[in-house]
Structure 1
Amino acid sequence: METLAYGIIIDFIPAIATGAAALAAYYSYCGLETWRKELKGKKKFDVAEETLVLVYQARRAISYMRSPLGFSGEGSTRDQNQNEANDEKEIWDSAYVPHERFNKNKETFSKLDVMKYRFEVLFGKELTPPFDAINEAVNRVLMDVNRLGRLMIEEKNTVR
C-alpha cells in the first residue's frame, strides 16, 4: 500500500512541476504587464512635464517679444537697406526688436514644435491645438510689427 501511494505521488510530480511553472509564468506575465503600464505612465508624465516647462518658457518669450520696453542697440542686427534715411532706420530697427527677441528664444520654440509630435503620439491629436495657437501667436507678433513699421514709414512720408 505504501509503495502504491509513493508511486502515485511520483506520478504527480511532473504535473505539479508543470503547474508550478505555469503559475510562475502567469505571475511573471502579470508583473511584466504592470511594469509596462508603469513605464508608459512614467513616459506620459515625463512628456507632459517637459511640455509644460516649454509652454511656460514660450509664454515668457512671447511676453518678452511683445514688451514695448527696449534697450539701446536692440534691432541693430537687422540688415539695413542702403537707401534708408536715418529716421526710417530707427523705425525699422524698432520694428525688428521682436524678431531679435524671437531669435534669442528660437530654441525654445523649436523644442516645443518637436514636443508637439511626441505629445500627439502619447495623448492624441485632439490635444495638440494649443501648440498651433502658440505658433500662430508668435507669427502674428512678428507680422504685426512688420506691418506697424511699414505704416509708420508711410505716415512719416505722408506728413512730409
Structure 2
Amino acid sequence: MDWVGPAVTAAVVSGIISIVSLFIGRSTTLITHRQKLDADRQLAERKVEADIALARAKFEYDREQAIFKRKFELAEHMLSDAYQLRSLMEYVRNGFSFSGEATSRVSDGAEREEIKRLRDSYFVPQARLQAENKFLSNMLARRTACHAHFGLEADKAFELFHQSLHQTRVASQLLVEWTAPGEDVDKETMNNLKADIWKGYAEHKGKDNIGRKIEEAVGICEKLCQPVLGSSV
C-alpha cells in the first residue's frame, strides 16, 4: 500500500519530534531548576549577609546605647556631686559653729577653757567633713570611671576637689595642734591656715585658694557634663 510509507515516515518524524520535545523539555526543566537553585542560593546568601549586617548594626547600636547610658549616668553623678560638694564646702568653711559640733575632737585633758573653745572652733571643719564621709567616698570612687569616659579634664576636676578637701582638713588639724601656750608659729602661717578653713576670712584677705579651686573644678564638670545631659541619641 502506498500510504504505508508516508505513514511510517510520519510516525518516525512524530517520534523524533517527541524525542526532541522531550529532550528540549527536560533540558528546559533542568535549566529552569538550575536557575531556580542559583536564585535560591543567591537569595539565601543575600539573606545571610543581610542578617549578619543587621546583627552587626544592632550590636553597634546596643553598644553605643550602653556607652551613652553609662556616660549619661556618670555625667549626672559628676555634675550633681560637684554642685553638692561646692555647697558642702560653703557650709564647712562658713566660720560659724554650733554647740556640740566639735564633740568628736579628742582633747589632751589639760586644756584651759579659752584654748578648748579656740581648738573646737578650728576643729569644726573636720567634724563637718567627717559627717559627710559616705558622700565624699562615693563621689571620689567615681574618679576612675569619669576619667575613662571624659578624659584628663575630668581627672583634673577630681584632683582639684581632692586638694581642696585635703587642704581644709590639714589646715584644721594644724590649727588645733598649734593652738597652745608656748607654740612658736608665725602669724602669717596661722592666717593662711585660717583662710583655708574659713571662706569669709580668706575673702577678706584676698586669697581664697580653696574656693578658687572648687569653682575651677565645678566649671570643668559643667563643660564636660552639660553637653551630654543636653543631648539625645
Fold conserved (TM > 0.5)? yes
- The letter for the 2-side match of 1:41 is F
Q: 2:47 & 2:183 partners in 1: Cα distance?
A: 90
Q: Deviations over 1:56-94 (max 9, x none)?
A: 221121111101111111212211112212221111111
- Which residue number corresponds to residue 140 of structure 2? 113
- The letter for the 2-side match of 1:76 is T
- The letter for the 2-side match of 1:82 is G
- Verify: 1:79 aligned to 2:127, yes or no: no
Does the CA-based 8 Å contact 2:119-2:175 persist in structure 1?
no
- Which residue number corresponds to residue 127 of structure 1? 154
Evaluate the alpha carbon distance shift between residue 14 and residue 156 of structure 1 in structure 2; reply closer, same or farther with a 3 A threshold.
Answer: closer
Does the CA-based 8 Å contact 2:101-2:124 persist in structure 1?
yes
Output aligned runs, 1:32-111, within 5 Å.
Answer: 32-111=59-138
Aligned length: 157
Q: 1:147 & 1:8 partners in 2: Cα distance?
A: 91
**What's the TM-score, normalizing by structure 1?**
0.85
SS at match of 2:110: coil
* 1:42 CA drift (Å): 1.4
Does the CA-based 8 Å contact 1:78-1:93 persist in structure 2?
yes
- The letter for the 1-side match of 2:152 is K
- Verify: 1:140 aligned to 2:201, yes or no: no
- The letter for the 1-side match of 2:93 is R
* 1:150 CA drift (Å): 5.1
- The letter for the 2-side match of 1:124 is G
- Which residue number corresponds to residue 13 of structure 1? 40
- 119-128 or 101-110: which moved more? 119-128
Q: Percent identity?
A: 22
Q: 2:52 & 2:107 partners in 1: Cα distance?
A: 73
- 104-113 or 144-153: which moved more? 144-153
Q: Deviations over 1:115-152 (max 9, x none)?
A: 11111122223431111111111122222233444565
Q: Deviations over 1:2-55 (max 9, x none)?
A: 523344213331222122111121122112212211211111111111111111
Does the CA-based 8 Å contact 1:75-1:100 persist in structure 2?
yes
- 4-13 or 15-24: which moved more? 4-13
Q: 2:101 & 2:34 partners in 1: Cα distance?
A: 95
- The letter for the 2-side match of 1:24 is D
Does the CA-based 8 Å contact 2:92-2:128 persist in structure 1?
yes
Does the CA-based 8 Å contact 2:119-2:179 persist in structure 1?
no
Runs (5+) with no aligned partner, structure 2: 1-24, 185-233
